[in-house]
Chain A
Amino acid sequence: MDPVINHQPPSPATAETAIECRELTKKFGDFIAVDRISFRVQRCEIFGFLGANGAGKTTAMRMLCGLSYPSSGHATVAGFDVYRQQEKIKQHIGYMSQKFSLYDDLTPLENIKFFGGVYGVAEKEIRERSHDLVRSLGLDREANKLVGGLPLGWKQKLAFAVALFHRPRIVFLDEPTGGVDPVTRRQFWDMIYEAAEKGVTIFVTTHYMDESEYCNRVTIMVDGKIEALDTPANLKHRFACDNMDEVFYRLARTARRSDS
């Protein structure tokens, strides 16, 4: 299942930095959820964040989104500091959490309007774009029904569209395709590529190793640490594996933390 659009990663020399972390750490008491991770994500890049359950992916992402204070280390997102400028970061990012978190008791259009409005998109623009958006998602007939009644795949597509509606520079996707059928997953990745083409940086966590092949670069987290960070091709070469599944298995089997 190759995505329809072939996305070219930006060349490292010329690209701007979208996200930068140095020694970023999060501790909960004695437990080190994220242990001194460092990386740099370039603008327009599709950056995959892989790891077993409990590896610390979501915790790392929450720090970058300004939802959680880091314990130590440095990080900037869209050029803003994660300690002091969370609200500025929030203006420039989109976020889609693991758990569907749009309002079930609002319709797709009402959800789009609310989140668009909160991000400061003008009412006129919301009106113009939301109908097109709903149509392109194939939700025309459901546009005025409550979101709670939609199938999960549609909900996830809607959540992604809402996360992109205010045209953020970076979008954070936390396991966006969890529990979604293969056809919808495929459509989802088409949407991701389309967004990346338009200049949005994508930061995505996933369990699905076939999906990791679509990323420009992939990070594999094990027990809160980054064990590997490279393009999928280089990783396969380095670990002499045929596919990402094997790469992941080789790295992750040393993990001591399992399901959190």
Chain B
Amino acid sequence: MKRLRFILQKEFRQMFRDRTILAMMFMLPLIQLGILPLAMNLDVKNINLAIVDKDHSTYTQKLISKIGASGYFKIVATAPAYKKALVTLENGTADIILEIPASFERNLVREGSQPLNVTADAINGIKSGIGSAYLLTVIRDFNQEIRLTGNGQSIAAPAMIDMASAAWFNPYEKFTWYIVPGVLVLLLTLVGGFLSALNIVREKEIGTIEQINVTPIKKWQFIVGKLVPFWVVGMIVLTVGLLVARLFYGIIPVGSLLLLYLLAAVYLVALLGFGLLVSTISNNQLQAMFIAFFFIMIFVLMSGLFTSVDSMPTWARSIAAGLPITHFMKAVRMIILKGSSFKDVSSVFIIEGLFAIGLNALAIWNYRKTQ
């Protein structure tokens, strides 16, 4: 135990002497959490629309002004012919073309129906999909209006199911509320994962590990000595991150802060165990960097940060379930946004606890004092 104290003292000294680590500890959560969630906004806005209006009637004027008033569309071009409009789609100025045929108003009044043509640039699938859907909603609304008030004669409105929805836990459906806790978890994972993955291997590279291996130090003492300082860094990153979430985005955890910290404490031990395992496997920092990057990429894309884990294919869901970050991400959102209690996330504690024990045991086992 006394020996562990000397080891910790040395590790803390080295860490606090490293200005980069100190700077990253505060700047990373401050800047990245301050900026990234705003840029990562998945709400589709500013859809560039080109309109081919061959009718030039009152109805088309009404329709176009309705589209403009919706707030989602920017009318970037009005072209006399579809071919001309297609050019704007091809060169990227427009995302969607709406073509209104010449007989629009007449056909609507006389025959009560008139097809419209919507062409979308599907390279950005999300934008084209959601944009077209918005456009169709606007057109459908317009359709309702003219059917009710339209051509002098009153038409009975068809039976309609009207839906009223309420958004719970994120009442304004703010994107940042969803993404900020996710980015916070991501930052914690990046900082902890990379710092720990690069540490032991650095000692291998500069040769100091040899001097350590020739001492009677116990393997677990060495690993714990590496783990504790990074754990402290992780907790600081979490604290700065929560402050940023509060000051920049007004996100105040609904659930217990203590619970959040306890869960993060266990998760960090698991994550650092992973990093240290990578570090014991690698022979140099470049290798460690690549291995860590390989896994952290998977962590980021499969954890449910951007995409819902529930909508992944079954095989992908089972991979996601095998990552410590997935469970932590979900639990953090639950605690911050929903105010979940210990009972709600107790299974996550057990899972992270098992990961923590397993990964650290592997790191200790894989660290060899005698080759």
Inter-chain contact B371/A69, CB cutoff 8 Å = yes
**Inside 8 A of B370's CB, which chain A residues have their CB?**
66-69, 86
CB B139 to nearest CB in A, in angstroms, measures: 67
Inter-chain contact A118/B7, CB cutoff 8 Å = yes
* Among B2, B206, B212, B216, contact of A87 (Cβ-Cβ < 8 Å): B216
Inter-chain contact B211/A115, CB cutoff 8 Å = yes
**Inside 8 A of B9's CB, which chain A residues have their CB?**
113-114, 117
**Inside 8 A of B207's CB, which chain A residues have their CB?**
97, 99-101
Q: A105-B17, A110-B13 are in contact. Are A117 and B6 (CB under 8 A)?
A: yes
Closest residue on chain A to residue B371 by CB atoms: A68
CB A116 to nearest CB in B, in angstroms, measures: 8
Q: Is B213 in contact with chain A by the CB < 8 A criterion? A: yes
Q: Is B214 in contact with chain A by the CB < 8 A criterion? A: yes
Q: Is B10 in contact with chain A by the CB < 8 A criterion? A: yes
**Inside 8 A of A75's CB, which chain B residues have their CB?**
none
Pick from A39-47, A88-96, A251-259 the stretch touching chain B: A88-96
Q: Is B20 in contact with chain A by the CB < 8 A criterion? A: no
* Among A67, A90, A106, A123, contact of B216 (Cβ-Cβ < 8 Å): A90
CB B46 to nearest CB in A, in angstroms, measures: 50
Q: Is A182 in contact with chain B by the CB < 8 A criterion? A: no
CB A2 to nearest CB in B, in angstroms, measures: 31
- Which residues of chain A (59-113) have a CB below 8 Å from chain B? 62, 65-69, 86-88, 90-91, 93, 95, 97, 99-106, 110, 113
Q: Is B369 in contact with chain A by the CB < 8 A criterion? A: yes
CB A165 to nearest CB in B, in angstroms, measures: 11
- Per the bound structure, the CA–CA distance linking A256 and B211 in Å amounts to 31
Q: Is A154 in contact with chain B by the CB < 8 A criterion? A: no
* Among A87, A101, A103, A118, contact of B14 (Cβ-Cβ < 8 Å): A103
- Which residues of chain A (140-170) have a CB below 8 Å from chain B? none
- Size range of the chain B interface in the assembly: 20 to 34
Q: Is A138 in contact with chain B by the CB < 8 A criterion? A: no
Inter-chain contact B10/A67, CB cutoff 8 Å = no
CB B210 to nearest CB in A, in angstroms, measures: 5
- Which residues of chain B (165-215) have a CB below 8 Å from chain A? 206-208, 210-215
- Which residues of chain B (1-50) have a CB below 8 Å from chain A? 2-3, 5-7, 9-10, 13-14, 17-18
Q: A101, A105, A118: which has the most chain B beta carbons within 10 Å?
A: A118
Q: B9, B210, B215: which has the most chain A beta carbons within 10 Å?
A: B215
* Among B10, B13, B17, B215, contact of A90 (Cβ-Cβ < 8 Å): B215
Inter-chain contact B2/A117, CB cutoff 8 Å = yes
* Among A99, A100, A118, contact of B217 (Cβ-Cβ < 8 Å): A118
- Per the bound structure, the CA–CA distance linking A128 and B7 in Å amounts to 20
Inter-chain contact B2/A102, CB cutoff 8 Å = no
CB A121 to nearest CB in B, in angstroms, measures: 9
CB B20 to nearest CB in A, in angstroms, measures: 12
Closest residue on chain A to residue B211 by CB atoms: A101
**Inside 8 A of A67's CB, which chain B residues have their CB?**
210, 213-214, 369-371
Inter-chain contact B17/A65, CB cutoff 8 Å = no
**Inside 8 A of B213's CB, which chain A residues have their CB?**
67
CB B66 to nearest CB in A, in angstroms, measures: 67
Q: Is A120 in contact with chain B by the CB < 8 A criterion? A: yes
CB B77 to nearest CB in A, in angstroms, measures: 62
Inter-chain contact B211/A120, CB cutoff 8 Å = no
- Per the bound structure, the CA–CA distance linking A16 and B339 in Å amounts to 71
Q: A67-B370, A114-B10, A117-B2 are in contact. Are A97 and B216 (CB under 8 A)?
A: no
Inter-chain contact B216/A102, CB cutoff 8 Å = no
- Per the bound structure, the CA–CA distance linking A95 and B5 in Å amounts to 22
**Inside 8 A of A68's CB, which chain B residues have their CB?**
370-371
* Among A86, A100, A113, contact of B369 (Cβ-Cβ < 8 Å): A86
Inter-chain contact B14/A105, CB cutoff 8 Å = yes
**Inside 8 A of A95's CB, which chain B residues have their CB?**
211, 214
**Inside 8 A of A65's CB, which chain B residues have their CB?**
214
Inter-chain contact A118/B6, CB cutoff 8 Å = yes
* Among B13, B206, B217, B371, contact of A106 (Cβ-Cβ < 8 Å): B13
Inter-chain contact A115/B215, CB cutoff 8 Å = yes
Contact with B along A219-254 (1 / 0, CB 8 A): 000000000000000000000000000000000000
List the interface of chain A (C-beta within 8 A of B). 62, 65-69, 86-88, 90-91, 93, 95, 97, 99-106, 110, 113-120, 123
11 further A-B contacts with Cβ under 8 Å, apart from A67-B370, A87-B369, are A90-B214, A95-B214, A97-B207, A99-B210, A101-B207, A105-B14, A106-B14, A114-B10, A117-B6, A118-B3, A119-B215
List the interface of chain B (C-beta within 8 A of A). 2-3, 5-7, 9-10, 13-14, 17-18, 206-208, 210-217, 369-371
Top 6 A-B residue pairs of the complex, sorted by shortest distance between their CB atoms: A117-B6, A95-B214, A101-B211, A101-B207, A91-B216, A114-B10
